[in-house]
A and B are shown apart, each in its own frame.
Chain A
C-alpha cells in the first residue's frame, strides 16, 4: 500500500521536469525510487515516508530548476541574442546617429556619475567614526564680539573636561605643523596636536601600533608621533616596521608609535598627530585661546545637557576671571561641520549636472523621434508580418540596454578625467563659516554605489528618451491615412522637447553667468594688498626667548635683502586671507572704559618695518613703522582703518595711547593708520587689527614676504638659500606667491564658475543641435505643405521668415522658462552669489542673446535649403 501511494506521489512530482527529461530519465528515476523505497519499507514505515518526502521534494525542486533553465535557454537567451543582433545591425546602419547619441549619453552619464561619486563620498557615505552621531565639536563662542566659532584656552579646556560627566571623552586639538627631515633639510607637514581623549572620542584604533596614551602627554615624557596613512605611504613606503623607529620631529627625536587608517583623516586633512602636554596647556593664560574640542557624548547625554554643563564650568571660571564673562561654549555635531560648508556648492553643481542630464535626455528623445519617424514604416512592416507589441518593445529594450551599456563604458573616461581635473583645480579645503577651521572640500569614491548609479542613470536617460518613440511605434500601421495627423502631433512633441532643452540650457548658462558676475565682483574686492611680484613663505621654528626669536628674523631680513632682484622684505605673524586668529588684550587710554569685567580683545599682528611696503598695504594716516621703532624706546603701534572707525570714530587716532597686555609690551603710542587687509577669506570684511613691531614678543614661526623686481618664482631658490644661510636647521614651508594666496581665497567661487561654464558649454551647443535637428526634420516633413504654399503664390523669403519666426518663438519661450528656473535655483543658493541677484538683468540679457543667436543659427542652416524647394517638384515627390 505505502509503496503504491509513494510511487504515485513521486510519479506526480516527476511531472515538474520538462517533457524531454521525463521521456529520457522518467522510468529510470521511478524504478530507482521504487528499489530504494522497498529497502526502506523493510526497515520501517517512517523511514519509507521520510524517503518519499525527500525524493518528492527533490523532484519538485530539481524539476522546476531544470524547467527554468530550459525556458531561459530556449526563449530568453536565444530570443534576446537575436534581438541584440538586429539592434546592433540597426545601430550600425546609421552610424552618425548612433555615435552622436553615444557621445551625448556618455557625457551626461560621466558627469552625473562623477558628481554622484563626490556627493556620495562627501555627504552620504557613513562616517568613518563609529556612532558618529554622538561626536561633537566644541567652539569657544563670544557672540557679543562677533566670534561664533572660536577656540578655547588650554586652562579652560582642562577645567571643562574635568568638570563634565556628559562626555565619554573630550579632547583638545590644535592645527599645527610638524617639522620633519627630508634629505637633510627640514620640511613642515600639516599636523594636529591632540590630547589622548581626541583618539578616545573618535574611537578608531591605529591600523599599526597604537595611539597616544595619557602617560605621553606631560612635559618631559618621551616624544612620540602618530603618522597619517598618507605620510606612512609617501615617506615610509608603507613599511610595517615603522612603529618603534625614531625620527626627527621638531628638531628632536620622537618615536613613531602608530599609523592611522586612510579613512581616519577624512575630516582632518593632516599628516601627523603629536601630543599636547596637559600640564603645559593647563598652565597657559585663560585668554590664550588655542584649541578646538572634539568630544564623544555619553550614551544618555544630549548636546543641550553637555552644553549646559560646559557653560556652567565657564560661568564658574568667569566669576574668578572677569575677562571671560562673555564666553560660552558652542557644541555642534561633528558630522555637520564637515558637510555644511560644502552643501551649497554641491547643491549648485548637482542642479547643473541634473540640468545637463535633462538636456541630454530631451536631446536624445528628439533625435529618436526624428529617427523614429523614419523608422515608422519598418515598425509597420514588422507588425504587419505578425510582430506583436511585445516583440517591438523587446527590440526597443534591447536597443536601450545596448546603448546604455556602451554609454556606461564610454562614460568612464569622462568621469575619471573629470575627477583628475577636479583634484587639480578644486580647493583642497573649505573654511567652516565663522571660524578659522578648515575642512576637506570633497572626496570621491568609485565603489559599487557609483557603478549602480552609473548604470541607472544611463538606463534612465536612454529609457526616458525612448518613451516618445515607443508611443509613436504603437500607432504604426501600413495604412497611411492617419499619418498626417500623427506627424503633426509628433511635430508638437518634438517642438516641446526643443523648448525644454532650450529652457534647461538657458538655466545652466544663466547659472554660469551669475557665477561669472559673482567672480567679477569678488575680483573687484579690494583685499588691501598689492599681490603682484610678492613671494610668501613661513620660516622658522625657533625656540628660546623672544630676543632669540627676534634676532633670527632680523638676520633673515638682512640676508634676504641682499639677494639680487629683491626690492624689499618684511615679516608678519601670518599670511593674510588664510583665516588665522591671533588676539591681543588691549586697554585704550582716554576712551570710555569698557563695561566692568569685559576686557577689550582685538586681532593683532607683529610686523617688520618694511612689511607694509612689501605687501602693498597703504598707509592712510600718520606713518608706518620705521627702523628706529625696533631699537627700544617707547613701543609704537599702527592700526587699520576698521580699528580706527570702531574705536576712534570721527577722531584722529594718531598720537593716542593704549596698553597691550600680551607679551608684557605695556603702553604704546599709535603712530599711523593703514588700509584694511582681508583676513578670514575674501568675502569677510577685515576685522579691526593692531600692528606692533615684531621684536615685541616675536613668534618662533613667521611669514616672510619678499617683493621682487621680476617674477617672484625665479628668486625662490636664492631666497631659500639666504634664509638657510642664517640657520640651516630651520624649516621653510607653505611657499606661495601672494597672487596665489589671493587666488586660493577665491578658489571655491572660481571652481564653481569653471564647472558651471563647462557644463553650460556642453548644454548650449547640445540644445542648439536639438533645435537644428528638429528644424531640419520638420522642413523635410513639411516639404509637401511648403510646395503647396509656393504653388499658391508664397515666396521663398516669406516661407523662410515663417520658419524662422516659429523657431524664435520657441527660443523665446525656452529662454523665459530657463531664466525663471535659474531665478528659482539662484534664490535657493543665494549664499553662492556675491553682489548679484538671481534676477540680474545684464546676465539674463546676455544669456538670452547667446541662446537666441544659437537657435537662429541652428535654424538658418536648414532654412537655406528652402531655396531648393520647387512647388511642382515637391508635389511630384509626394
Chain B
C-alpha cells in the first residue's frame, strides 16, 4: 500500500495528467479510510479491469483500485485528490498550493466543519473500536466512480457553482473565515474576506518563476527562488511567509519576529457549527472516521514548540532533520504493522506489465486519512493538530519511492509535461500580469495625482498635460478610467475661465500677434480641444454600464459648475437624456443639475434655462409622455420674473424724452453748424453705437428685453409640455395601447407625468394666457371625468386624487385670472359633488380632498342656493362615514357654507320639505349626480345630531356649533365667521390623530405642532377637568380597596396561624400521651 501512495504522490509532483482533464471539484474530506481498501490493487492507466473486479476509489490515495466484485468494466479514470502536504506552518493556509499547478484541474474544498465533525466522530470511535472496523464499502457500489469522495465532490461542486475553468482557479485557505475557498488565480480574493493570497504556480521540473509573492491584507512578501531550491522548500517558504503575514495581521504589528506557526485558536466543540450536510455525510459513512485514533500528539508538540527567531535556512535544516528522524520511526512502525491479506490484495499492474503483489497495513486507512486531514490541517483541536506532524515523514518516504516509480512512468509523464508546461506558462503570465496590474494601478494613480497637481499649480504652462490625462482615461482598467474622469473633472472645474472661449478665425490667425497673445491663444485652444475630447469621452462612456454613473456625475457637476462655457448644449442634451433614467442615482443627479441651472440663472444668463426647457419638452415629446415624473418636476423650480420688463418700460419714455430734447438741441445747432461739424457728429454717433454694441456683445448679462423674450419662450415651452401631457392623458386610445409599456417602465399609473404636470399648472396658473384657458379648462373637465351625457361611459382611468387635482387646478387657474371675468365652474362642482362619494380615506389622499374643499367651496365667492344646500347635505353625510380629519374638513366647509347662505339654514330645521325654498324638487334625492337637482333643500341635516355624539370631541363640538346656527340671527353670522380653512382643520386633526398614538413620535414634533397641542389642551379644558376628577376618584377607590384587602389579608393570616398553632398543640399533646403510655408499658 505504501507503493500505491508513493506512486500517486509522484504523479502529482510531476504533474502527470491524463488526456482528459476534468474540472470537477474534489472534496478533500477526511472521511476516507475505507476498510475495504485492504488488499485492493491500484489500477493503472490503460489497464482493463479484470473480470470479477470492481473499480473503487481509494480515498486515501485518491486513486481508483480494483475490488473483487462482479461488475462490468468501464473506462478507467484517475481520481486524484491531489493531496499534498506542506510544512505544517503553511499547511493551514495553503493546503493546496499545488491545486493551481496541477493540470488536472482538481480543486479541493474542505470546510472546517467537516474536519471538526470528523474529529468528533473519532472521539466516539475510540471508545468503540469494534464499530470502527469497516467491512465492505459503505457507499453503494456503482459502475465507475460513485464513491464517497465523488459524491461529496458533487455536493461541493454544487456549492461552488461558479467554478471557472481550472486554470484560473485555485484553492486556498482563507485566514479570515477559516475556510478553504476557491479563488481565481488572477484575483486571489476570498469571497467573504480580504485579499489574501497570490501565488505563482510552478512545476518542479520546469524552471520555476524567480519569485513568489505572497500577499495578505495589503502586506506582501516576496520570496526569491533560486532554480535549485526544491519545490518543497518553496512551498514551505510561501507557507511561512504567509503565516508570518497572518501573524502580523493578528498582532497588528509589523516587523515582528517570525513565530512558530500559531496553534489554531481554541474553539470549544459546541461553538463550532457543523453543517447539516456534513453531519449527514459523516453519519452515513461512520467507518471512514477511524483514522483519528492514530494521532501523534508528541510530534505536534515538538513541532509547535519549534524555536522562533531562527534563520529560515536553519529552520529548514532543522526541520528536515527532524522529519527524517520521525519518518524513520514511522517506517518502523509501519513495517511492524504490515500484513498481507491474501484475500483482498490484488496485484498492481505497472506500465511495464509487471504484476506486483502488495501488502497492506491496517493503519493504512488511518494514515491515508491523516494525510488528508493534515492538508486541511491546523484545525482547532489539539488532537487534530497532531496529524500535521505525522504526515510529514510519510510524505518524505513517499517522495523517495515515487521517484523510483516516476522513472518507470517516464513515458507517460513526457506527454503530460508538454501540455502542462504550456498551461503553466499561461497561468504564470496571468499571475504576473495581475501582479503588475496592481502596481500599474498604483503608478497610474500617482501619475494622475501628479498631473492634476501640476495643472492646478500652473494651468497656463502645463496645459499640455491635459492630453496625457485624457490618454489615461483610455485605460482598460475601469477604475483608472473612473479616477481619470474624476480628476479631469476637478481640473476642468478649476481651470475653466469665466467666459466663453471663442477660437480665433483664420483672419485673426494670420495677423501677427504678440507672444503673450499667442500663448493665450494656444492655451485657450488646447483647453477647448481637450475639453471637447473630454466631453466626447464622457458622452460615449455614459452608455457603458459601469462607468455610467461616474460619467453622468461628471456631466452634471460640469453643468452645475460651468454652465456658461462652450459645449454647454451637448452637456445639456446628454443630461436631459438621462433625466428619466431608471437608475435612481443618475436620475437624481440629472434633476439636481437641471434644477441648479434653473435656480442659478445668473451663471449663464438664462440661455441655458431656455435650452434645458426646450430639450425637456422635446424629450417628453419624443418619449410620448412616458417618463418618470421627476423629469417634469424640475419645472417647478423655474422662476419667472414678471417684473423684468417693467422697470425698463418706465425708464424708456424718460430716455426718449431726453433724446428728443437732445435732438432738438442738435437740430438747433445743426442750423448753425457747418457741414463739417455735422459729419463729425455723425461719426461720433456711429462710433458710440459701435462701442455700445461691442459692450453689449462683451457684457455677459443680456439686457432685459432679451431676458424677457427668453423667459416667455421658456414659459411657452413649459406650457407646451404641460399641455402635451394633458392631451396625451386625455387620449384614451393612445393610452390604452401604451398602458402596458408604461406599467413596465414606471409602474406609477398609466400617466406618470400627469400628477406633476397638474402641480406645475397649479403653480404657474397665473401665467397662463387667456387664449389657452378655454382649451385648458376643456381638457381638465374631461380629465376630471365630466361627460355631457349621463349615460356616457364613466369609467375614468384616473384616480380620485388625480381628478380632484384636476378640479383644483381648474379653480386655481380661474381664480388667478379672476380680474377678467367671474366664471362659474359648474361642471367642476358637479364633479366634486360626485367625487366626494368616490373618495376612500385609505386609498386617496385626504389632503387633496381638503384642498379641493378649500379652493372650491370654502373660498368660492358665490354659490347657488341649491348647490350649496346639496353640498352641505352631502358633506354632512360624508363626514358620518369617514375619519375624523376628513370629517372635520367637511364640517368646517359645511359651517362656512351655512354662514354664507343664510337661506340654506332651513336645512337645520326639523321639518322636511323645505317649504317654499324647495323649488320644483320636493324630495331629496341623494343619488342625483347634479347638485342643482338633488333637492337637498327639502332635506334635514339629521347627520349633525349624530355627529354631536362623535368620539372625537372637536368634531362633536363643531357639530353642536353648526346645529346651533339655526336659531342664529343672520346679522350675527358675521361675528362668528370661522377662520380655519378645511385644509387647516384637516391638518390639525391628522396631527391630533398622530398624537393619539404613543408618545414616541412626540419627540419629533416640531415646535409649531407642540404649540398647537397646547392650544388643544386649552380648548379641551372641561374635558381635561373631568378627566382629572375621574382620576381623583380612582385614586380614592384604589386606596380604599387596598385598605380593605390588607385588612382581609390580616384576618386570614391570623386565622391560618391560629390553625397551625392548634395543630401543633394537639400534636404535642398526642406525643406526650404517647410517651406517657410508653412509660406505663415499661412500668408494667
| A and B pair up | no
Listed in ascending order, the chain B residues whose CB lies under 8 Å from chain A are none
